[in-house]
Structure formats: C-alpha cells, structure tokens
Copies of this chain bind each other. A is one copy, B any other.
C-alpha cells in the first residue's frame, strides 16, 4: 500500500553495474534514468523582424518567448524546432544555421536554437493552444519585452552577434552549475 503523496520512482539508489544514484520505484522497480532533455527552437526572421509568442501556459505565462519546446521521439533537432513553431504560432518555417547550444544544467535541459525563415513570402501566423498572442518585433523591441527565459535572450543576441551567413560554429553556453560526481573506485 502506498500513500497518494508518495508514489513512483522516489528512492535514491545506485543500480547494479552503475556508478551513480538513480531514482528507483520501490513498488515496481522501475529505474528513472534522468538524462538531459532537449528543448529545440528557432529565431524566425521575416523582413528583419522576429516572431515571438506570448505564453498561455506556466511556467512564465504572459511572458514572450521564441517558438521552442521539448523534442519528441522520431524527429531531428531541426524537425522538432519546425513542429514547435507550427504548434505555438502556426508558422511554417525552414530551418537555417544552428545558432546556439545552451546547457541549462540546474533543470536538466539543453536548449538548442536555429535561425529560421518562413516558407511563404507572406507568412501567416496565429496563436496555437499554448500561446496567448504571436507577433513580429524588431530586435530592439524584442529585447525590451519581458522575455520568458534567459536562453531566449541568448538566442536573440547570439543571432545578432553571429555572421549574417554561415558557416559558423554554434555558440555553446552553460547556464547552471555542474553537478560533480562521486566516482566509484575502479
């Protein structure tokens, strides 16, 4: 018997053959390996302006963000960024160069941003279910808005700082602490 308040993988144990603690469920023995999750998105540009979405969901409801979200099985980074732009802004994008890889280690996320353009020269955008509003902004306007997450600001400023045309190396940033491991004696 378990309480409603204490279910699922919740015991910290080092599984056999492993060398660090994982969360294990005492009822079903499931090991919840926690690896970083990828959040994929882009900086969509049309006539020098950038598409932003105002979040309809927590965290950071009401704040502005670039279209981005958790990568799903079966897609590449670029395909995930395309899907998210359609879900959040009904935007049909073409992915360009990879701008940045931001390791947000305190929440176990990798935020990966591309440059993107629109399939149509007269793009149609509209709020998806996770957005209150969507719109195009100059970069000056965008950087003055209440942006949802630090990586949104980095993607915008790294886009501006990188050459207009590639190839270039993506910017790699760490946004949280390293979790030092305790190595087992070999």
**A residues touching B (Cβ–Cβ < 8 Å)?**
2, 7-9, 20, 25, 27-30, 32-38, 70-79, 97-98, 101, 103, 105, 108, 110, 128-129, 166-170, 172, 174, 176-181, 186
Q: List, in ascending order, chain B residues with CB within 8 A of A79's CB.
A: 178
Whether the pair A76, B98 counts as a contact (CB closer than 8 A) is no
A32 to B101, CA, bound (A): 25
A94 to chain B, nearest CB (A): 14
Q: List, in ascending order, chain B residues with CB within 8 A of A34's CB.
A: 73
| Residue on B nearest A72 in the bound complex, by CB | B35
Q: List, in ascending order, chain B residues with CB within 8 A of A73's CB.
A: 34-36, 105, 108, 179
Main secondary structure of the interface of A (DSSP, over half): loop
Whether the pair B98, A169 counts as a contact (CB closer than 8 A) is yes
Shortest 9 CB-CB contacts between residues of A and residues of B? A74-B179, A8-B30, A76-B103, A167-B169, A167-B168, A7-B28, A8-B28, A35-B37, A73-B108
Selected from B8, B101, B103, the residue in CB contact (under 8 A) with A25 is B8
Q: List, in ascending order, chain B residues with CB within 8 A of A20's CB.
A: 72
Q: List, in ascending order, chain B residues with CB within 8 A of A177's CB.
A: 74
| Residue on B nearest A96 in the bound complex, by CB | B169
| Residue on B nearest A39 in the bound complex, by CB | B35
Whether the pair B172, A36 counts as a contact (CB closer than 8 A) is no
Q: List, in ascending order, chain B residues with CB within 8 A of A32's CB.
A: 30, 32
Beyond contacts A8-B29, A36-B71: 19 other A-B pairs, Cβ-Cβ < 8 A, are: A8-B25, A8-B30, A27-B27, A30-B32, A35-B38, A35-B73, A38-B110, A73-B105, A73-B179, A74-B176, A74-B177, A75-B179, A76-B101, A76-B174, A77-B103, A77-B172, A97-B169, A98-B169, A167-B169
